[in-house]
Structure 1
């Protein structure tokens, strides 16, 4: 929470697992909610606590990385739902046209600025108080030290959108230097073209420091953005259509407790317990994704969208948080949770610290699998290791170079993804050993020492 002007307050809500921010602008008792995610109670409760009359709900674009709560927030509060004019969703809304101001009360105006590039319809909103520009909600256009990706709608449109993004960034950079920059996407988001840093900035700071604003022209800019794109999470392709057609309210967060012998036959079993617990013993065939801020993203990336999920958890774990993260990406079919594995947790793998992992890998005729992202691998590759990005283990299969008769030493950046990969390898008949608490760069240093 930060004061931009004495008469205006910006409350930000960060969702670290998706690398996104939602904003609530408060001015003289009226509120503007920008790019809300589906779990809208946290936004509406904050507005109610401040006795704010929510006047507008704004969307900068049809989101690719989560299902939106904008329509439901407007329906719940009676606020005016505003979307880019070219978005054309299937539900009632007010279209935002380029430079046609939307008037609030007490001197508040919202000026839509068409900023295509991240998506074709993308629109930023300049906030004016008594005619003075004070802040801009830039969505997935100009970001802190970065820009929104232009390739999420497919390679055929990527270059054209990248060229448009060049113009959009410079359009926003033409605003007064003191204007607060409030992007939706930031650090941790797969919607950023490069590694975004801080979450908010000013136009002046970006003019001075954002490397993408120093690129010479639209073609060079497109070359830069498309040279080494990050992978696109598999669930992204379902988000745009959902946000076009409309998103129902959040599902119930309380799910039933399931008996292990009565698991739904079609359900994918996802073990959300701490990875050390999973390593010691988990249900054969289950996918181990410990509950953390990015649990929903990894589950949505690794499992088929829309298919039923059964969770395995420890008593006392925040199962409602797991259900919430899944609901943010439209994965509503959580059938229940298993707490008691009794004697059925027979699948296990060693999880070793750096020193023990290095010693064991050398003793067992080192066979290392690196499951990091391609960009991470390019920046620091371990000689002799087999590289396959974690999601590709499920879509492309286990690398043929790996020998089932020897241990597979699995590493990532910290152990989190390696532990997920270990549960995949186990069900395919391999013998994984996980590097936990360290990553491939640490392993490289240890081997070079």
Structure 2
């Protein structure tokens, strides 16, 4: 009997898989922290036979090479990927014998990347599942623009044939994509994590488009921003990634922080608001900590974390390592009197009352695609990462408080620490967002 285990990484919106069949395992698109996958295999007394990669990932560094080295499994990569380490190239429709009636059939499915390859799983010659990586996703498809705007139109058109190829599989075949909800590798926000070919034929809007140029237009019509760290992922996965670093950084006193280090405060935003280190960026620990830190801190710059006295930091360090950032130098747990920067946290009613005052300054830090759903008249708009690359909107007066909002308060709190570093006095809408504020105003 075949079993497929999913390993969700919510902050990156990705899922790795372990296929188990007759005591043998196939690991698909593993992230760098491979111990969780190998532990699951050991618990089931499974011999890892293959490690499959669907493409050279753009959103995380892979653990595939290290997993194969640790276990002796055969590393299978798309033939056109040609990474600079030992692997078995997967060619279109050249079956891989998994033993005991298991067959892995590579399907060249370019579009998300040129080399992208999906893997059809057959048991006793019957197709039962397909690992579609970043090609056909649940209610969506992988982005074709991550390799640059020059290549995006051609890759978007290639997507048409790839999606059709997968859609032609039997409807009962299970669909197991790597990218999903929360990933910046999707064209739109996919919902569920897995599906079937039949369900996607009924509900995926992209499969209803019957022309390659029309599909390309749809895929490229409203691109989401590309996180800054993405450009480093492809080269890392091409040339190889070292094993995971230790996730327990040394404890540092504040005066031992290297002068070149970027200080990242991972404490809850309620604690940050009461006092944080001037010049630090506050990104409270959460599922997407690594993505925001990788976006806002220069890649591989030395990092020192600020955490609470009893706060675990293994998770934020792990999230950084998943994107290849191994530069955490230590953790500070006592800021003492140096925590002189502050910001306010306001609930919806208090924020709405302040925003309604004459001359109030509101800053919306949501991404451009979110502005279509709700927009606050008179608010300055600057997507959070653009505060660092483009600066604070010129119309905001540092001599008056700035009311900052996003969709929930998480990004607004990060923005507040950046604004404070630029001499502004921020107040954050906490536990609500611009859509709630718009609804509140329209209801009055």
With normalisation by structure 2, the TM-score equals: 0.99
Selected match of 1:87 from 81, 88, 91: 81
1:391-429 residue CA offsets vs partner (Å, 9 max, x unmatched): 000011111111111111000000000000000000000
Tell me, in whole angstroms, the C-alpha distance in 2 between the residues paired with 1:344 and 1:363: 33
1:299-336 residue CA offsets vs partner (Å, 9 max, x unmatched): 00011101100000012222010100000001100000
Tell me, in whole angstroms, the C-alpha distance in 2 between the residues paired with 1:166 and 1:394: 37
Q: CA deviation at 1:131?
A: 0.5
What corresponds to 2:172 in structure 1? 178
What corresponds to 2:23 in structure 1? 29
SS, match of residue 389 in structure 1: coil
Q: CA deviation at 1:439?
A: 0.1
What corresponds to 2:354 in structure 1? 360
Q: CA deviation at 1:344?
A: 1.2
SS, match of residue 86 in structure 1: helix
Q: Does residue 380 of structure 2 align to residue 377 of structure 1?
A: no
Q: CA deviation at 1:104?
A: 1.0
Q: CA deviation at 1:105?
A: 1.1
Tell me, in whole angstroms, the C-alpha distance in 1 between the residues paired with 2:312 and 2:370: 31
SS, match of residue 5 in structure 2: strand
Selected match of 1:282 from 263, 276, 281: 276
Tell me, in whole angstroms, the C-alpha distance in 1 between the residues paired with 2:14 and 2:75: 20
Tell me, in whole angstroms, the C-alpha distance in 1 between the residues paired with 2:25 and 2:222: 40
Q: Does residue 139 of structure 2 align to residue 145 of structure 1?
A: yes
Selected match of 1:246 from 240, 244, 247: 240
Tell me, in whole angstroms, the C-alpha distance in 2 between the residues paired with 1:129 and 1:422: 54
Q: Does residue 412 of structure 2 align to residue 414 of structure 1?
A: no
1:131-179 residue CA offsets vs partner (Å, 9 max, x unmatched): 1100000000000000000000000000000000111001000000000
Number of residue equivalences = 443
Between stretches 399-408 and 34-43, larger displacement belongs to 399-408
1:270-318 residue CA offsets vs partner (Å, 9 max, x unmatched): 0000001001110111000000000000000011101100000012222
Contact 1:37 1:68 in 2 (8 A): yes
Q: CA deviation at 1:362?
A: 2.6
1:344-401 residue CA offsets vs partner (Å, 9 max, x unmatched): 1110011100001111223362210000010001221111111100000001111111
Selected match of 1:309 from 259, 281, 303: 303
What corresponds to 1:298 in structure 2? 292
Tell me, in whole angstroms, the C-alpha distance in 2 between the residues paired with 1:348 and 1:136: 51
Q: Does residue 53 of structure 2 align to residue 59 of structure 1?
A: yes
Contact 1:364 1:406 in 2 (8 A): no
What corresponds to 1:257 in structure 2? 251
Tell me, in whole angstroms, the C-alpha distance in 2 between the residues paired with 1:419 and 1:194: 25
SS, match of residue 55 in structure 1: strand
Tell me, in whole angstroms, the C-alpha distance in 2 between the residues paired with 1:266 and 1:103: 52
Contact 1:364 1:407 in 2 (8 A): no
What corresponds to 2:216 in structure 1? 222
Q: Does residue 172 of structure 2 align to residue 194 of structure 1?
A: no
SS, match of residue 151 in structure 2: helix
Tell me, in whole angstroms, the C-alpha distance in 2 between the residues paired with 1:326 and 1:188: 17
Structure 1 unpaired stretches of 5+? 1-6
What corresponds to 1:73 in structure 2? 67
Tell me, in whole angstroms, the C-alpha distance in 2 between the residues paired with 1:357 and 1:182: 43
Runs of 4+ residues deviating >6 angstroms: none
What corresponds to 1:400 in structure 2? 394
Selected match of 1:99 from 93, 104, 113: 93
Selected match of 2:228 from 234, 244, 247: 234
Q: Does residue 122 of structure 2 align to residue 128 of structure 1?
A: yes
SS, match of residue 24 in structure 1: strand
What corresponds to 1:387 in structure 2? 381
Tell me, in whole angstroms, the C-alpha distance in 2 between the residues paired with 1:76 and 1:226: 40
RMSD: 0.7
